[in-house]
Structure 1
């Protein structure tokens, strides 16, 4: 099965998917054209809706950034992804469960506050902060 086609220009192979509605697109130009009309996540089937009780399911939410300086730069993201310290920490099942609980929560800030009370999560966040600030 070959690559999917961009559903905006219908000419190129899609390399990306819209984070809101999962529409395949090929470039920033097509993404901007697509975003001229508001879109949203496709309606889930009844079976998919049942799976939202699963702690590993993901809650889609808009990305709101009050301070652009707080956004992680690509180089910081790459440093985090390549850190053996962080990768080793992510092998901890308790840490994985905390991260999944935050990601699947309807109130992620509250879940994050709870997770910060747990030693393994505080240690993990300190490793990330140390990596992105160096």
Structure 2
């Protein structure tokens, strides 16, 4: 068994239906810098692998409402505000709880 996974080996979630779904992905007008105030907040590789291999998280990502929330956060010029709004929804809170559970304490 390999001690780590390459990016190409991280599994992806595909729609269950045989019909292709088209999702409009907003284009970013400018790249955002990735600033981290606390280096301890950056996930370790083993934590990312736990998230990628979790069937609970993969199943949750099949929810179209959750997909829209994540795309909205990712495509927003003010991602922190969008993240705060998403945390007000049950589907996103459940999703983040599953992530926290997967990465451990």
Shift of 1:86: 0.1
RMSD: 1.5
Structure 1 runs (4+) greater than 6 angstroms displaced: none
- In the alignment, which of 30, 49, 54 is matched to residue 78 of structure 1? 49
- Compare relative contact order (CA 8 Å, sep 6+) and give the higher one, 1 or 2: 2
C-alpha distance after superposition, 1:88-120 (max 9, x if no partner): 000000000000000000000000000001100
1:97 aligns with 2:83: no
Structure 1 length normalisation: TM-score?
0.57
In terms of Rg, which structure is larger?
1
Q: 1:79 to 1:58 in 2, by over 3 A?
A: farther
**2:26 is equivalent to residue 57 of structure 1:** yes
Taking structure 2 as the reference length, what is the TM-score of the superposition? 0.72
Count of matched residue pairs: 81
Unpaired segments ≥5 residues, structure 1: 1-53
